[in-house]
């Protein structure tokens, strides 16, 4: 009996081991399957199809799981990384398997002009290989057409259009609403043109804000027209006139906007999606499985490019790149925002890495917390103190706090259409004592000092608090001027004359000495290499980002894959209608979110509510 029980227990234990092994093999097989699908096989001859999703950005927000959930649910802003676009197009240029490049803009929402220019330059460079670039869309808008204009052939749908509506800057103004609610927004600022707080204390645009907006928007429109006209072989003024008469021309054409685009030489032809597919089949051949042209998608090809980059032997000399994208906030912040602690830590790690010969800071930011900006500024000074160069490359926006963190650089590069400057400081916070009065609620009490209770939400700001805040703001502005004066080798008064919170385009900023060179991110990296005395082609460019462990990265990838595969089945059927309603409230939501993030301990902000998207 005892031997039988022993035999039975040994058998059960063996069965447990076998089942355990099978479970581990199943898990391992799933993980391998996920990883294997990330490196697809490519046809011998195909067109690379780039289909940008949402906005083109310097840095994607959130982690892979969050992005996968947003993708499945159809919420949040889809994003395409500019760096990925450049890498893919550059690799495809020398890849014999890629015979043509297809740009499909139906799901791209837009980007700033400097970002579009980097994208367009990559497209132009690809054309130097002699391979065709085909651009198509149901309807081109200002941003998508900027890139499409650089293609060999541009096709618009017969029911489509090319709508180049120019740049604008309209904002919601809330003073009357706040008055009705009994809410006071207490504002302390320095800078005649520091208009960031105006929506809360005015009901319309100030004369100063209107003046600077007309100037920098006009500059952006001029650079847009020049770039598009050159790409299409047109004169900028002729293009300006055609755009101005667009409504009249479409009306005269009985509503046929696509024919107007063809007559204006903005497109090569008017073709449906099937017609474009036929044209591409002529170029690269037919895929016998799909009946369409032979193609590889952007996502699949990107995984191939990344895999090949990892296998390639890296150069010994390295240039570090840190992307500073989004609002500048205190503490540790996720991707898509700039944390005072998290970004400073990346710069510190770069400083302690002796293998890095130079640092390039890529900035795309409207600014934010002064304390966080100062924290980043000090770390950049510490890196420079090692004798290694710091070069700043400005993207779409490097204003206010975004310019503050650029100030210590050895050299600043910007696009002609970069929005920068806005050197100024403000503090703002709401009080609701009048709202409480309307409800019959009184606040009373005592304090031990002139400042006791002066910063409460339910009491008006007292005179001592107002003097304290304004004095702090004045000093903060002087510190900002001092940072810029030191970095730009200008006197305090010279900087003050072009500061005052005023926004400038990159081309004007260079004329004023706020920017050294106009050019691309790649040119900024090359300049950093020259300053570090590195030979061209003998250094690697390394993006410095917070590191995930192998286990964390694998877990995120597997979770993201699961959500993409099975998450749609879990969505409530009423989500779509609800999301449409939510999207209509996005302008108001953005303003509320801005306020919710303004939690700097000293309430001081170097922030620019300037945009041309």
Distances (CA, A) of 470 to 28, 308, 431: 62, 56, 17
> Distance between CA 270 and CA 91 in Å, rounded?
30
**Are 414 and 433 spatial neighbours (Cβ–Cβ below 8 Å)?**
no
> Distance between CA 534 and CA 219 in Å, rounded?
36
Angle between helix axes 236-244 and 207-232 (nearest 10 degrees) is 110
Buried b (16+ CB within 10 A) or exposed e, 98-128: bbbbbbbbeebbbbbbbbbbbbbbbbeebee
∠ CA 338-340-343 to the nearest 5 degrees? 60
User: Please, which residues have CB within 8 angstroms of residue 370's CB and are 6 or more apart in sequence?
Assistant: 401, 404, 425, 476, 480, 600, 602, 604, 605, 606
> Distance between CA 151 and CA 135 in Å, rounded?
6
Q: Which two tokens stand for residue 124?
A: 């132009």
User: Please, which residues have CB within 8 angstroms of residue 157's CB and are 6 or more apart in sequence?
Assistant: 136, 137, 138, 139, 258, 270, 271, 272, 273
> Distance between CA 24 and CA 39 in Å, rounded?
23
SS (H, E, C) 95-131: CCCEEEEEEECCCEEECCHHHHHHHHHHHHHHHCCCC
CA-nearest of 116, 79, 50 to 395 is: 116
**Are 100 and 134 spatial neighbours (Cβ–Cβ below 8 Å)?**
yes
Distances (CA, A) of 557 to 59, 65, 297, 546, 561: 18, 7, 20, 16, 6
User: Please, which residues have CB within 8 angstroms of residue 548's CB and are 6 or more apart in sequence?
Assistant: 556
User: Please, which residues have CB within 8 angstroms of residue 248's CB and are 6 or more apart in sequence?
Assistant: none
Catalytic residue numbers read 194, 400
User: Please, which residues have CB within 8 angstroms of residue 536's CB and are 6 or more apart in sequence?
Assistant: 526, 529
User: Please, which residues have CB within 8 angstroms of residue 546's CB and are 6 or more apart in sequence?
Assistant: 342, 346
What is the sign, positive or negative, of the torsion defined by CA atoms of 259, 263, 264, 266? positive
**What stretch of H or E contains 153?**
strand 153-156
Q: Which two tokens stand for residue 223?
A: 């650079």
């Amino acid at each position: 009996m005892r031997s039988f029980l022993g035999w039975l227990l040994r058998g059960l234990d063996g069965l447990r081991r076998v089942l355990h092994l099978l479970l581990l093999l199943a898990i391992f097989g799933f993980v391998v399957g996920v990883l294997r699908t990330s490196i697809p096989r490519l046809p011998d001859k195909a067109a690379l199809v780039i289909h940008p999703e949402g906005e083109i950005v310097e840095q994607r927000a959130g982690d892979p799981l969050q992005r996968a959930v947003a993708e499945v649910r159809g919420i949040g802003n889809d994003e395409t990384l500019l760096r990925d676009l450049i890498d893919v197009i550059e690799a495809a240029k020398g890849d014999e398997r890629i015979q043509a490049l297809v740009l499909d803009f139906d799901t791209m929402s837009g980007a700033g002009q400097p970002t579009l220019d980097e994208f367009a330059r990559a497209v132009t460079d690809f054309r130097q290989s002699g391979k065709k670039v085909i651009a198509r869309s149901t309807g081109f808008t200002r941003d998508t057409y900027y890139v499409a204009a650089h293609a060999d052939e541009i096709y618009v749908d017969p029911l489509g259009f090319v709508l180049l509506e120019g740049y604008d800057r309209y904002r919601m103004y809330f003073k009357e609403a706040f008055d009705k609610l009994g809410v006071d927004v207490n504002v302390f600022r320095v800078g005649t043109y520091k208009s960031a707080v105006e929506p809360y204390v005015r009901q319309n645009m100030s004369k100063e804000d209107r003046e600077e907006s007309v100037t920098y928007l006009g500059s952006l429109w001029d650079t847009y027209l020049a770039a598009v006209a050159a790409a299409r072989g047109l004169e900028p003024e002729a293009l300006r006139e055609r755009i101005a008469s667009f409504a009249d021309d479409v009306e005269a054409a009985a509503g046929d906007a696509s024919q107007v685009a063809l007559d204006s030489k903005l497109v090569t032809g008017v073709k449906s999606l099937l017609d474009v597919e036929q044209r591409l089949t002529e170029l690269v051949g037919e895929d016998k499985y799909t009946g369409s042209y032979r193609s590889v998608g952007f996502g699949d090809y990107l995984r191939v490019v990344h895999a090949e980059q990892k296998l390639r032997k890296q150069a010994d000399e390295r240039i570090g790149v840190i992307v500073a994208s989004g609002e500048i906030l205190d503490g540790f912040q996720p991707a898509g925002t700039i944390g005072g602690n998290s970004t400073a830590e990346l710069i510190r790690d770069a400083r302690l890495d002796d293998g890095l010969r130079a640092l390039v800071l890529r900035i795309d930011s409207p600014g934010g917390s002064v304390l966080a900006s100062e924290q980043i500024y000090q770390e950049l000074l510490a890196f420079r103190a090692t004798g290694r160069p710091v070069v700043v490359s400005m993207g779409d926006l490097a204003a206010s706090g975004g310019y503050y963190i650029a100030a210590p650089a050895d050299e600043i590069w910007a696009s002609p259409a970069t929005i920068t400057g806005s050197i100024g400081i403000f503090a703002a916070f709401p009080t609701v004592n009048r709202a409480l009065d309307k409800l019959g609620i009184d606040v009373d009490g005592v304090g031990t000092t002139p400042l006791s209770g002066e910063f409460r939400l339910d009491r008006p700001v007292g005179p001592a608090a107002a003097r304290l805040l304004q004095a702090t703001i004045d000093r903060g502005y002087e510190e900002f001027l001092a940072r810029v004066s030191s970095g730009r080798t200008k006197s305090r008064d010279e900087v003050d004359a072009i500061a005052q919170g005023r926004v400038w385009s990159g081309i004007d900023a260079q004329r004023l000495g706020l920017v050294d060179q106009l050019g691309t991110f790649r040119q900024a990296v090359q300049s950093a290499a020259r300053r570090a005395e590195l030979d061209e082609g003998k250094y690697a460019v390394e993006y410095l980002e917070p590191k995930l462990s192998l286990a964390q990265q694998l877990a995120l990838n597997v979770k993201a894959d699961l959500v993409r595969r099975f998450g749609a089945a879990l969505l409530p059927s009423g989500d779509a209608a609800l999301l449409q309603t939510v999207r209509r409230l996005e302008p108001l939501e953005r303003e509320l979110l801005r306020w919710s993030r303004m939690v700097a301990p000293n309430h001081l902000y170097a922030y620019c509510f300037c945009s041309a998207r």
